[in-house]
Amino acid sequence: MYQKTLSIIKPDAVKKKAIGNIINIFETNGFTISDIKMLKLSMEEAREFYKEHAARPFFNGLCEFMCSGPIVAMCLEGEGAILKNREVMGATNPSEAEAGTIRKMYGDSIDNNAVHGSDSTESAERELNFFFSN
Ligand code: CMP
């Protein structure tokens, strides 16, 4: 199924100057990048974006981290894009991610894991609307 999904290059990967390499990985894996935006989230925006994790113990730290510097939000498109993006990213915890995945290459810990990707059709729609509603 042809799908759209949201990818975020997080502040840690931006600080590492990995934007270009990560975009290259998406393109060489066949994704079309159909929208892209660099921005800095406010705390209020980060809390809204990650609201499904509001009750988790890592929520405040996650939101502070996501506000700690600029991020790059992208719309990735392609056949089976949602699952394929999750495969290309690798496991949430970089120490469990397979070789060759973005999180293995650029993530340092579960908190600083380089990229975010939507995990379902519902979250992809909500998350793309969050960044690209206009
Ligand atoms: P992300 O895909 O952006 O979605 C939520 C983020 O919370 C996740 O990546 C991790 O960076 C972070 N996080 C920290 N601790 C955990 C945890 N125990 N389980 C899931 N995500 C966590």
Cα angle 127, 20, 40 (rounded to 5 degrees) comes to 45
pLDDT in tens, 76-87: 999 999 999 999
Is a pLDDT exceeding 90 seen at residue 134? no
User: What number does the ligand 1 atom closest to the CA of 53 have?
Assistant: 5
What per-residue confidence (pLDDT) applies to 36? 98
Q: In this structure, what DSSP letter does residue 74 have?
A: E
Spacing, Cα 115 to ligand 1 middle (Å):
10
Report d(CA 85, CA 103) in Å as an integer: 12
Q: Tens of pLDDT along 16-57? A: 999 999 999 999 999 999 999 999 999 999 999 999 999 999
What pTM does this model have? 0.98
- Mean pLDDT for 49-75 is 98
Domains of the chain, start order: 2-132 (3.30.70.141)
Q: For ligand 1, atom 3, name the residue with the nearest CA.
A: 116
Residue type, 53: H
- Could you tell me the pLDDT band of residue 90, with boundaries at 50, 70 and 90? very high
Q: How far apart are CA 68 and CA 55, in angstroms?
A: 21
User: What residues line ligand 1, using a CB cutoff of 6 Å?
Assistant: 53, 58, 62, 92, 110-111, 113, 116
The tens digit of pLDDT for each residue in 38-49 reads 999 999 999 999
What number is the average pLDDT over the span 85-114? Answer: 98
Give the number of the atom of ligand 1 that is nearest the alpha carbon of residue 61. Answer: 14
